Structure 1
Amino acid sequence: MPPIKAVLFDLDDTLWPIVPVIMRAERLLFDWLREHAPAVAASYSIEEMRARRVALMKAEPRYAINLAALRHAVLSEVFVACGENAASVDTAMDIFNTARNQVKPYPDVHPVLSSLCRRVALGSVSNGVADLGAIGMSHYFSASIAAHQFGSAKPDPAIFRAACDALRVDPAEAVYVGDDPLLDVEGAQKAGLRGVWLRRADLPLRSMPGHLQPDAVCGSLHDLDEWLGGHIMVAPDA
């Protein structure tokens, strides 16, 4: 196998846990609704709006690659249904998005990314809507591709190959790291990258489907860094 010139990462549940972030963002949004759109808050609970998003995504699969647009659509729908000013939906989304980007990275993230970005090109490929600039992590990555901007989502091989193109590496020279066996490991491998399964202990236990064989299984980014040590291309003057 060629030496590794680039490492690409999933974001949610790979660099930070996402469930507590979304739960907090939804609570803050609901608090805002109570004050600024009381008819909506009185008519729809957090759970009911979540169910409406699930139903809308099933009816219109295009929303699967743009969860922000999905949330905006449902808020617009319930604002109109309740006679609230739909022009306020953008402000409501700002409340949610600000909180959604207030993530708490895992303890290994900053140390390992800080080290890796000095040795190899880093990129990210995500189906989510995290803003790495707002989070304060964009400086680690030379390329970041999100499904809602690209137009297709993992496990589509095209999104992985686009990230490799942006980093000017061949897929065979790149590794992708993520928590989801199908979206991340299988998706990356079908695109020609090596796929590493990051299996963090705090996340719900997932099993690797029998037809898949990750290139590595790591419990932390420190484990990943150790594995990469024997695979990263070393510059001639290093």
Structure 2
Amino acid sequence: MAKSTDTTPSDKAPKKAKKPNGFQQFIQVFQMTRKADPNSVWLMLLVFLGVTAVSLLIGFLVDNWITGLIIGVLLGVLGAVFILSRRAERAAYSQIEGQPGAAGAALNSLRRGWIVEEQPVAVNPRTQDVVFRAVGRPGVVLVSEGPSTRVRPLVESERKRLARILPNVPIHVIETGRDEGQTQLRNVAGAMNKLKPQLTKVEVTAVNKRIGSLGSKLPIPKGIDPNRVRPDRRAMRGR
């Protein structure tokens, strides 16, 4: 006789956790933003009511208040979502600000066209000041993390090293932080995208390969892992 094969619940493969749908993601972003920035709720409400009121007023003036109300509600919702998106982006960056590797995490929000080195390219093991690098059409961009006076020698050393092997390629420096002359994390991507393009796409690839041919990998100090310090990209997009 064939042996019976009873399957117990423990024998079954564990079910994969379901990914949150769009509405659940929206609720998560809203809760995260409200916790980090309580004023965002009142601002969203103010925008919604203001836009709806203006649209309703226009509807009364043209003797079609129903259409005005419908359009006002839709535009009010869009306005509130836009405010949530901007505030969520700030909240996401505020969560990683001050953590080791935060500057590298900020580079993850760059649009296409940039080649980002996820690990630091220069490190001060004692102070944990670091320098990250990205290559794009504007040239090479070095993004530092640490007080200006302390991290500047580290940045300058890396800039000179690159200038020797890339004499005709522009090298830009962006210092992250809240001190005078520094760029806040949430503004890093915007500052880089505003740089004037000076290389072609083919040249960008060639420059990156030239840098990669050096093959120098630095040991990463304990506590610095940009792969674990990432801003919530869904929150930054307001989704």
* TM-score bin, normalised by smaller chain: under 0.3
**TM superposition score normalised by structure 1:** 0.24
